[in-house]
Chains A and B, each alone.
Chain A
Amino acid sequence: MSEKYVVGYDGSQVASRALDFAVARAAGEGGSVLVVHVLEWSPYSFLTPEEIEERHVRRKEELARAESALMAPLKAKIEAANVPVETQIKYGHVAKTLCAVASTEKATQMVVGRDGDGGLSTRVFGSVAGSLVQIAPVPCTIVP
């Protein structure tokens, strides 16, 4: 069975490094890459009546923007490296959503970057990389 890498990608530099790492591994062993962009979203946040009314339209816009600005350029680049690539854009809690995708898509490995910021908010709320270490369903590589 060939390796399938789930890569968490948000357009940042560290995310690009994580992606490069995964693409290089996949290219070497004939594996594939599934790039996942998660838009942070909680169904328990509070919205104003107007935000509720506009939400459906905003969601469509956000998905379209993520697709054209983040995912489309990537696809071309990774395909040029002869690595089969898929992309997904999801809403939800970032770490949990990445794990859910990895499980449903039967990925064999996960790769994420880390922002290296050990500040107060990270101490209180934890980081994506930190959460993945604890809950990832498959081996997870964290690229600095």
Chain B
Amino acid sequence: MTRLVPTAVLTAFFTFLAAVSASAQSIDDTINGIFASSTGWFVSLIFSNFPGTSFPWIVGWLVIAATVFTVYFGVIQFRAFGHAIALVKGDYSDPNDAGEVSHFQALATALSGTVGLGNIAGVAVAIGIGGPGATFWMILAGLLGMASKFTECTLGVKYRNEYPDGTVSGGPMYYLTKGFNERGVGGGRILAVLFSIFCILGALGGGNMFQANQAHAQLTNVFGQYPGWITGIIFAGIVFAVIVGGLKSIAKVTEKVVPIMGLIYVGTALIILLINYDKIGWAFGQIFAGAFTGLGVAGGFVGALIQGFKRAAFSNEAGVGSAAIAHSAVKTKEPITEGFVSLLEPLIDTVIVCTMTALVIIITGQLISDPETGNYLLNEAGTAIQTVGDTSGVALTSAAFSSSIGGFKYILALAVILFAFSTMISWSYYGLKAWTYLFGEGKTKELTFKIIFCIFVIIGAAASLGPVIDFSDAAIFAMAVVNIIGLYILMPIVKRELQSYMSRLKSGEIKKFN
């Protein structure tokens, strides 16, 4: 009898779980159905191509904006580069302000929100489809994106709200309203509301469900298949403990471990490059040749260009407006200094980390080419390049690293999970800021959003919600549509700030302390 009871309980428990997962399955189907039919038009609109091309207009929108800001601010990404480094090192920080958030901390926190799956899995997708040449266009887009980040983060700080209790709230929704009013341009409030809606959707989707989903995919890659809701509940529990329970210790550990994981990742990539140092010249040759000829990839060099541009835009979020929310919380006397610091993000995220992933995949010879023509061989469908283990996405990155350093897939799995977790924490904050902009500040209102956020972690890990994820990616890019309209209208204000700061820097009014 005493032995039967636990068995009975266990049986009941598993029956219950099976029932839950079965009903979850039907819920998934329902959600899929509703989403696909009601949001499909939105997804197609955002990811539709320029007429007569296979070039998504949203990618063009981001790259054109980045180019405009680069020209308008006179290649600020190179002019202000040295000063940005000096700011991060603390050369211009008044020692009496010690104890406030430093530029380094603001940069590190914003980076932990952007460095993630895009750098590991996304780059592999881009190289797999667009070939080595995609790397060239990715780096170019990353360099241009620095100017977009500079613009949005300066505005984020300049137009943030400061409350009597000393806390601050900022981001595109605030500069769209306040900045537009200041310039006497209408429609700011409508854009701000639109931005907030897209930001909440993007936070729940790309910043949450997609991350949970990919973290689970990576876990099953290492431990074998098991139901996704288990990952979901564990992740949701940890996220809940951090964002609702205020369990700072977990967040603190993650925030410390994530940069270390980033360094381990880049360090390992560098070691692999050193091992294969004789092929580095060849790899860059492939990147340049591929950038302008395509080396046989689908769509030729245009195919490589689209993949590279797309990956840079997806990865560093320049122009999306999320970084403006992250940076605006920093207490600083000069809004433009946050802009300078933030322009380092696309450089680190895309030009350094993404490029490392690409180089390792190329140098370890994962892509199969025809020895006679030197062109890459395509798979049967003609959509992607043949790879050694017939892998793509994160599995391709994993295979490339493991081929040089065995067992790296375990470290990579850990990195993916930590990156996913830190991205979730960052996006929960971005989503919350948009939520409180729409519904007002207040404990109950904030708690409502945080609980919704945790529920979406479970949904994201449990199901393969293709349409939902498509939709949430589309929402993140819809943020960019609204945000960049705002940046065009407000860029003269940033230029004024820039000129004023630069002249004071030259005259010595802005002092160097160290």
Q: Which of B90, B112, B113, B167 has the largest count of A CB atoms less than 10 A from its CB?
A: B167
Q: Nearest CB to that of B257 among chain A residues?
A: A46
**CB proximity to A under 8 Å, residues B239-282:** 242-243, 248, 251-252, 255-256, 258-259
Contact B252 A48 (CB under 8 A): yes
Choice from A44, A48, A63, A92 contacting B248 with Cβ under 8 Å: A48
Provide the A43-59 mask, 1 if CB < 8 A to any CB of B, else 0.
11111111111111101
Query: Does A62 have its Cβ within 8 Å of any Cβ on chain B?
Result: yes
Q: Nearest CB to that of A50 among chain B residues?
A: B429
Contact A57 B255 (CB under 8 A): no
Choice from B93, B112, B248, B426 contacting A51 with Cβ under 8 Å: B248
Contact A46 B255 (CB under 8 A): yes
Query: Does A72 have its Cβ within 8 Å of any Cβ on chain B?
Result: no
Q: Nearest CB to that of A43 among chain B residues?
A: B102
Contact A43 B98 (CB under 8 A): yes
Q: Nearest CB to that of A38 among chain B residues?
A: B98
Contact B167 A49 (CB under 8 A): no
Known: A41-B98, A55-B331. A49 touches B104 (CB 8 A): no
Q: How many residues of B contact A (CB 8 A)?
A: 37
**How many whole Å from B98's CB to the nearest CB in chain A?**
4
**CB proximity to A under 8 Å, residues B84-129:** 90, 93, 95, 98-102, 104-106, 108-109, 112-113
Q: Nearest CB to that of B325 among chain A residues?
A: A49
Known: A49-B425, A52-B106. A43 touches B167 (CB 8 A): no
Bound form: Cα–Cα A54–B104 in Å: 17
Contact B99 A57 (CB under 8 A): no
Bound form: Cα–Cα A91–B102 in Å: 12
Contact B109 A48 (CB under 8 A): yes
Residues of A within 8 A of B102 (CB): 43-44
Contact A90 B98 (CB under 8 A): yes
Known: A52-B330, A92-B95. A47 touches B166 (CB 8 A): no
**How many whole Å from B429's CB to the nearest CB in chain A?**
4
Query: Does B380 have its Cβ within 8 Å of any Cβ on chain A?
Result: no
Majority DSSP secondary structure for residues of A touching B: helix
Q: Nearest CB to that of A44 among chain B residues?
A: B104
Query: Does A100 have its Cβ within 8 Å of any Cβ on chain B?
Result: yes
Contact B105 A47 (CB under 8 A): yes
Bound form: Cα–Cα A56–B106 in Å: 13
Contact B105 A46 (CB under 8 A): yes
Bound form: Cα–Cα A44–B326 in Å: 17
Contact B166 A43 (CB under 8 A): no
**How many whole Å from B132's CB to the nearest CB in chain A?**
34
Query: Does A39 have its Cβ within 8 Å of any Cβ on chain B?
Result: yes
Contact A53 B167 (CB under 8 A): yes
Query: Does B20 have its Cβ within 8 Å of any Cβ on chain A?
Result: no
Contact B99 A41 (CB under 8 A): yes
Known: A43-B90, A46-B259, A59-B100. A52 touches B105 (CB 8 A): yes
Contact A49 B429 (CB under 8 A): yes
Contact A49 B101 (CB under 8 A): no
Residues of B within 8 A of A43 (CB): 90, 93, 98, 102, 104-105
Choice from B101, B165, B326 contacting A55 with Cβ under 8 Å: B101
Q: Nearest CB to that of B113 among chain A residues?
A: A49
Query: Does B329 have its Cβ within 8 Å of any Cβ on chain A?
Result: yes
Q: Nearest CB to that of B429 among chain A residues?
A: A49
Bound form: Cα–Cα A116–B110 in Å: 41
Contact A46 B99 (CB under 8 A): no
Residues of A within 8 A of B104 (CB): 43-44
User: Can you list the 9 inter-chain pairs with the closest CB atoms, starting with the nearest?
Assistant: A91-B99, A43-B102, A91-B98, A46-B255, A49-B429, A57-B166, A53-B329, A48-B251, A56-B331
CB pairs A–B below 8 angstroms (6 shown): A39-B99, A46-B112, A48-B109, A53-B169, A56-B167, A91-B99
